[in-house]
Structure formats: structure tokens, C-alpha cells
Structure 1
């Protein structure tokens, strides 16, 4: 198998090939290092890259283990690059913040620990915005990550580096995290799959606060839903160190996803009845793609939550700034570090510093009411669907869109309001490709499932993947380099 064929394999097929010893871990590492050398300079997706000779030596040790009949797990020999927000022992973890440019953690984050234990070899980190704030991946340490489909555009964020690396076959799968669409927006903008799991399914830590912080979660990204499910089988599962982690055997995500969806009811949330401004073409593209649900036997109807959406936005502002201000208080308190923060981070912290306890309590009550409103929708719908973003990928050189659909954006993240519903409800949501606009820019759909229905969400994403005609479409950059072999619909 030549290197081009190797990196074109789905992650599921790659794991099978490695364990069958039809390809060595050294060959896999060589192929992916070549791919990184070819494409990373054009998009700046992967950072803190490690010494190739050391990585090849580690791949050799993985090969020796297989020769002895010893496999570490599904990711045995996989080149991986944890998101630069996740602590990774021995590799700089900067969080995109200049004061942490030389920070090398002595330990792994729990999600990184699980991937390492499953056999992953860490080639570096994936780029992220400063402290993960904002859905556009740029920072003062490494600069901006560019979109795999058009390097003049944003890759999204905060898992933008992971998404661009996946789209260009520089990684077989990727981890990310999601507070305000950070696994969903970049996936939709790179024509891949990104899943925000149910609250508590993937244990988060170590962290100072383990009980209240339930807006952000780590999760999987991949080029196929089966790959996403397989990575989730590694990431998920209870951990006694995480008091709110879910019980349940994560092996259920490793089973085949195919199932019948005849009669399944899809509720189309769209722009919440005109509530959300959309760039021209986003809503029409997503609406046109809904016919693919009908192709797999579903029915589609309009759905509208019985909830004041401005109330939901105020809930979001309160809880997010409360958590961000709490987490970044030590940075803000240090005048030298505060001077290095981007303006959006300072704004977020200062919003949180002026909150009172009653405002936070009221926001948690409103969040609970939103969960109840979605529960009532799920009495007549099996899944809820809406766009993964309100705009197509924008100019990489701007910080954030100041206007969408003729409406001014009053915060740095208002243009991503479409993602907060799934976050605040703690529900499983996956971003799937919805197609392309006339400029060839990708857009995605969010598919939201009932509470703890993560497997069902993956199953309908798999049916979608098999039904849509554009699943195998590749970034022009790959075709320009003659990488025509293989596709995302690898049956393995």
C-alpha cells in the first residue's frame, strides 16, 4: 500500500490494517509525517510538532508489540495530535496564550490519557484560539489555522486545527472540545463529522472545578460517523475522578452503526422561526439537504420550541461568562498576563466579574426550563436538526463577523448563537456535511438527539453519510497534489 492510499483509509480500516499487520506502524507514521510536511505549512493546523526520528522509534516499538501479539487498543500506532487545550505530558500545551508558550504539563488530560493508553502516538498538538474562546482558530503563539477548502478562509474553532488536519488527511481521527460549537462549527466548515457527546459521557479533567462546569465537553471528530463512534468508544466511560461522568460500557460505540430509519421523525428548527440571522445561502442549502433524511425513510416537519430565545441567549451569556471569568481569574489578576489577553477574553472575564449569585441561579433555572422545552419537542420528534453555523467560512484575517444577514453582532460570539441550544441542554449533537455553496465552501447540519441518545445520533449520522452524494468530495488542495485514491465512504 503506497502512502497516498494509506492516509486515504478511514480510521476504522487503518486500525484493521495495522492489526492484520498488512501495514506497519512505521509505514503509517512515515505516510502521515509526509502528509503533514506537505499540507501543514499551507493551513497551520498542527503545532508543537515532535521530532520525526523519535516518533518513528515509537512506531517501531508499537510494531514490536504487535509481533509479540500485544495490542494497546483500537488506536495502536495512530498518529495523533491532541487539541492544544488538553494537557499532554511532555509536549507544550499553550492554550494559544503567549504566557504559556513554553508550558509543558507533567500529566495528561483524562481524554489524552485514554487515547495514549489505546495506542496513539502523539505527533504534536492541534491549533486552537486563545483559551478556546471564539469560533475562529487564531492566537498569538502560532497564528491562524486556515480552512482546508479555501486557505483564505477561517477553519472555524475552537477545534479548527483538528478539523483542518482531518480534512487534509494529516490525522486519521482527532479529538476536540466543545463549549460553543467548537466540535460542530469547524466540522461543518471542513466537510467532516464532529460530535458533541452527552453531558458527562466523556469525563473532563483534571480541573479545579468538577461539579458545576458542564457547558464544555471533549469529544471526537472523524471523516466518517463510524470513525467518530470508534474514537468515542476510546474517550467515553465512567471515571471515579469525575463525579458526574456517565456509567455504561463505551464498547457499544464500537458496534456497526447501520440500522433502519423508516418512519423516523425529524424536527427542523432552522433559524428558530427567523430569530437567528443567516448569511445568504446558508438556510436554503441546509433546507435543500433535508431531502436526504427522506431518502433514508424519515419524515421532516417544522419544529419550534416553546421558549423565548432571547431568554436563552441571556442564559448563555451569564453562564459562559461566569465560567470563563472563574477559570481565567488568576490570569486576569496578573497585570503582565492580563496585558497579553485578547480583547474578547478580557470582555468575557469582566462580564463574569460583575455577576451576582442571583443572576447565576436564575440562569441555571432558565437552562433547566430550556431542557424541558426541548423535552416537549421530543415527544413528537425523534431528532432535531438545524444549521451548524450562521455564516459560511469567513476571511481568515478578520477576528469575527461584525454583521450577519444585515444584523449587527453585539458580541464576539453572537454569530454562533445557533449552537447554544444543544450545549445548554447537555444533549448529544453531531455535525454532518450539508453540502457546498456556489463558491465551493462547505456547510454542516447539527443533528440533536434525545438525552443520552449518543448511539442513536451516531446511527442516523451513519445513514446520512451513506445517503448523501457529496460524502466523498475532497478539498481541492488534495486533488491538486494528485491524491485521488480512496474516499470517506470506506466500507470498513
Structure 2
């Protein structure tokens, strides 16, 4: 294994921290001085999936910037919002046909007009916030007024909402410009991003393989620099698995941290909700500072000031205790190489002063899976039964959706109550484990990205998968506990395929999880070390 000095020489560009002279010549000179011009060409040799294979035309220096740096340049008028929009749209035109991450892209002329208005606002001293002039493409499950929200379903392929979701409201208020949507599986069901409306999103590091899901379009758009930051949503690892498979960061916040709505049901939809993704933890935290915060329409949303996530992330982690859950002592099947790579990734935590030891919750893991099946069936059936009850619409639902709905329709109220009681016991088991450990860590997926023509793995390590999502069982524990969880990259296997681990914190300890993720990132810097060959 290469040493940190071999991977990350002192000359490696770190644009977020590079000083610059505000009076420096042209904008082009500014970007050059910031270390971004041709940054990918400065990477150490032999680290990319295809070595240092580069496109004939390298990506724009603007699209290669971290979001925090880009935001600062826009605010200081070192780059115009029109220049930013043009750079991203040009880049999307080159890259997106190869991976199919962004869909429902809006008309270029209108987007440039919106960028011009953002520039005019700056000229008048009207700065809207951290996302002023930034292009964004919300996940195609979240409502966007005036832009189609298909949910990946033929039933909604022409549906255009009249109202934004809460997270979209918030980024618009901060000055973001919506350029389209990021692709998702039908209704977000399944951790492979394909649907009958837009097709399959392909992995950023190997376009012959899946991108993960359901926030697969968002993760690939981030990894390939088509977006500066991205939103996603997560019921069964949908902010964690695609982040792991595309070498970026994805954060499932604490239950209630990011209000999920508006919705016709505001009390029981507590398995799936939204959160941020980024190429750095700092970028991700800044987006969370926009997304988070109480909303009176969601009575269970948390009231802590979201500005805390825009503050410093530096912290001393010497003496921090981490419990490594791994495969729960052999309970979960893992593809060869996953556990080994994740164990190597634990060195990044040790490098910042943490101690890591094996841990195991006092809870029967098979019971946890049955709890998961019951609650997921129940929620999906509640949301989608009206579609199922119409035979014409039912015929357009994918089989996995029909299976979930029918499973829910066969449940009794007593079944659901027992499942919620078991969920509570699981939370208590983890709470006791957190009396010994400050954080818990486990793999973000049980397999590496698989063939893009395959619906899901039929087996793992010789063990048959009995449902379409059993192969992602590793993420259900975090979901059911409602705890903050961050995917951090751990590197690549011999085939150049990425993997990550989930960092799980105590209840509502979102900032603490991001602080550990930031320290780990500084010690490893996998996102900067290996960029997709498409770039």
C-alpha cells in the first residue's frame, strides 16, 4: 500500500485553502493562481482507473473547483454567474451522454438568462446566499415547480409540480439555479438507478457498471463534476451506497434534521428523508446548512440552528473510540474484497488519533431484517396503493413496487405495532453500544458496483438474495435507528471500483459525524487522488 506522502505530495493542489490576490489580473489568471487550471494533470501517476488517461479537452477549471471555493469566487465577482453556468453546461454536454446522470435538462438560453439576473443582483449588492448562481439538479423524487418530477415512473413522466419541496425552496432562496434533475430508480425503489423513463445511470469510474441508488444520478453528477454539490434522499442507503460507489461523500442526517415535505402525512414517514452529497465534507456541510432547520409544516423537524454546519469542522480526535461492526460477525454475506478494503480504510481513522475495535450490538440481526420488511412494506403500500388499485396504472408499476405494495396490504395493525416495538429495541441496543464507543463504522455496501445490465445481485458469496434489496441489508440498521450516518470513501479494489464505509453517530450528533468525516478526509483524500477517467 502506498504511503500518504506518495499519494499526496505537498505540491498537490488544494484550491479551497489556496490564498489569492483580489487584485490579480483576469479571471483566468485568478483561476490559474488558485491552482485549478488543469488540476487533474497534476495528479500522481498511476492512480486513475485508466492511469492518467485524459480527454483531449480537460474539464473547465470552474467545474473542477470545490463548491466552497466556487461560492466565494462568485460572491467576490472573480467569476460571473454566466461564466459558471456556461462552464457547467458545456461540461454536462460532454459528459452526461456517457453516464446519463442528469435528466429533464432545461433550455440553455433560459438558464443563461437566470445567470445574468444573478449577476445583476450582485451588481446591485443583492447577494442571496451561499448558493448564489450555483447550478443545481435536484433528485427526480423531490418536487420542483415548473420542472418535471417523474419519480422515474411512466405514470408521472409528464408531471410538473406547482410547488417546490422544502429543500428545493431553500436552495432557490439561496440563489441556486435549477438546471434539471438527477436520475433515480422508479419511486426510488432499489439501489440501482434505472427506470423506463430515462434509462440507466452508469458508474462514474466504470460506465459498464451501476451507479448505485437511489441517488445514483446525484452521485455520478458530483463525481464527474457536473454539479458542485447535490441533494439526495435515503430510505435504504440511497445517500450512502451511491456515494460509496462513486467515491464521494453522502450524508443521511438525523431523523428530522432536514424537513421532508410538504407532505400529506407528517408523523409516520420516518424511514426515508433527504440530505446532502459533496466531494468534500466541507461542501456537504455547507449544503446541509441550507437544507436543515425547523419548518412549521413538519412538526417533528429539529429546531437547532442550521448555521452550526457552516462553521469550522476541525476537531481533535485523539482518544476517540470507534466500534467496527463489519459484517456483524459473519451474519452479512460480503463480496470478496469488500471487508478487506474497508478494514484498510480504518487506518484513516487511526491516523487522526482514533482507536478502533470490533463491536457487536446485543440484538438478533435476522429480527432486524423482518422489522425492516414490515415497515417498508407498510410505508410503500400507504403511499402507492391508489396506483395499485387502478389496473391500468398497476400494469405500469415495476414488479418490485407491486411486491412492496402487496406485502403491505397483507399486514395487520398488530404486525406494524410489533415492528415499531422491535425498531425501538434496536435503537436501545445501539444506544447501549454508544456508551462504550463514540462512533460506529461498517461497510456502505456488501458488493462492489455490478454490471449495469443486471437488476440486482442474485447471490453474494454463495448466499442467495431472497428479495430485490437483500443485498443492501447492511444499511438498514442505520435507517431504523434514525441516527446520523456519513459515507466516506475507503479507496478502490484491484479493478478500480470504489467502496466506502458508513460512519454512524449518536442521536442528533450530526455535527460530530461531519467533524470526524472531515478529519478522515484530510488524512486520506481519496476524492482528489482518483478522479474518473471520463475527466
Is the TM-score greater than 0.5? yes
Which structure 2 residues correspond to residues 157-172 of structure 1 after superposition, within 5 A?
157-172=213-228
Match of 1:459 among 515, 519, 529: 515
Matched, 1:332 2:384: no
Match of 2:491 among 435, 442, 460: 435
Which structure 2 residues correspond to residues 142-291 of structure 1 after superposition, within 5 A?
142-291=198-347
Displacement of 1:4? 1.6
Which structure 2 residues correspond to residues 391-406 of structure 1 after superposition, within 5 A?
391-406=447-462
Cα distance in 2 for partners of 1:241, 1:308 equals 37
Cα distance in 1 for partners of 2:298, 2:167 equals 12
Matched, 1:354 2:354: no
Which stretches of structure 1, 4 residues or longer, exceed 4 Å deviation after superposition? none
Q: Is the 8 A contact 2:223 2:532 kept in 1?
A: no
Give CA deviations for 1:85-127 in whole Å, capped at 9, x if unaligned.
0010000000000011100000101111111111110000000
Cα distance in 2 for partners of 1:343, 1:168 equals 32
Cα distance in 2 for partners of 1:161, 1:470 equals 20
Aligned to 2:360: 304
Cα distance in 1 for partners of 2:388, 2:527 equals 44
Match of 1:20 among 50, 53, 76: 76
Aligned to 1:423: 479
Aligned to 1:318: 374
SS in structure 2 of the partner of residue 471 of structure 1: helix
Going from structure 1 to structure 2, the CA distance change for 1:30 and 1:469 (only over 3 Å counts) comes to: closer
Aligned to 2:48: none
Displacement of 1:397? 0.6
Aligned to 1:483: none
Aligned to 1:490: none
SS in structure 2 of the partner of residue 445 of structure 1: strand
Aligned to 2:196: 140
SS in structure 1 of the partner of residue 62 of structure 2: helix
Aligned to 1:120: 176
Give CA deviations for 1:322-353 in whole Å, capped at 9, x if unaligned.
00000001110111111011111111110000
Q: Is the 8 A contact 2:98 2:207 kept in 1?
A: yes
Give CA deviations for 1:33-82 in whole Å, capped at 9, x if unaligned.
01100100000000000000000000000000011111111100010000
Q: Which runs of 5+ in 1 are unaligned?
A: 480-492
Cα distance in 2 for partners of 1:258, 1:476 equals 28
Q: Is the 8 A contact 2:115 2:177 kept in 1?
A: yes
Cα distance in 2 for partners of 1:470, 1:421 equals 26
Aligned to 1:484: none
Aligned to 1:489: none
Cα distance in 2 for partners of 1:471, 1:108 equals 32
Matched, 1:410 2:462: no
Displacement of 1:475? 3.4
Q: Which runs of 5+ in 2 are unaligned?
A: 1-27, 29-36, 38-58
Aligned to 2:427: 371
Matched, 1:67 2:123: yes
Aligned to 2:105: 49
Cα distance in 2 for partners of 1:57, 1:182 equals 34
Cα distance in 2 for partners of 1:342, 1:470 equals 36
Q: Is the 8 A contact 2:279 2:527 kept in 1?
A: no
Displacement of 1:289? 1.2
Cα distance in 2 for partners of 1:330, 1:145 equals 28
Structure 2 length normalisation: TM-score?
A: 0.89
Cα distance in 1 for partners of 2:401, 2:135 equals 32
SS in structure 2 of the partner of residue 290 of structure 1: helix
Displacement of 1:469? 5.1
Cα distance in 2 for partners of 1:249, 1:187 equals 26
Give CA deviations for 1:179-214 in whole Å, capped at 9, x if unaligned.
000000000000000000000000011112110110
SS in structure 1 of the partner of residue 303 of structure 2: coil
Cα distance in 2 for partners of 1:109, 1:332 equals 25
Q: Which has the larger radius of gyration?
A: 2
Displacement of 1:456? 0.4
Give CA deviations for 1:404-454 in whole Å, capped at 9, x if unaligned.
111000000000000011100000000000110000000000000000000
Larger displacement relative to structure 2 (17-26 or 463-472): 463-472
Larger displacement relative to structure 2 (390-399 or 462-471): 462-471
Structure 1 length normalisation: TM-score?
A: 0.96
Cα distance in 2 for partners of 1:238, 1:470 equals 34
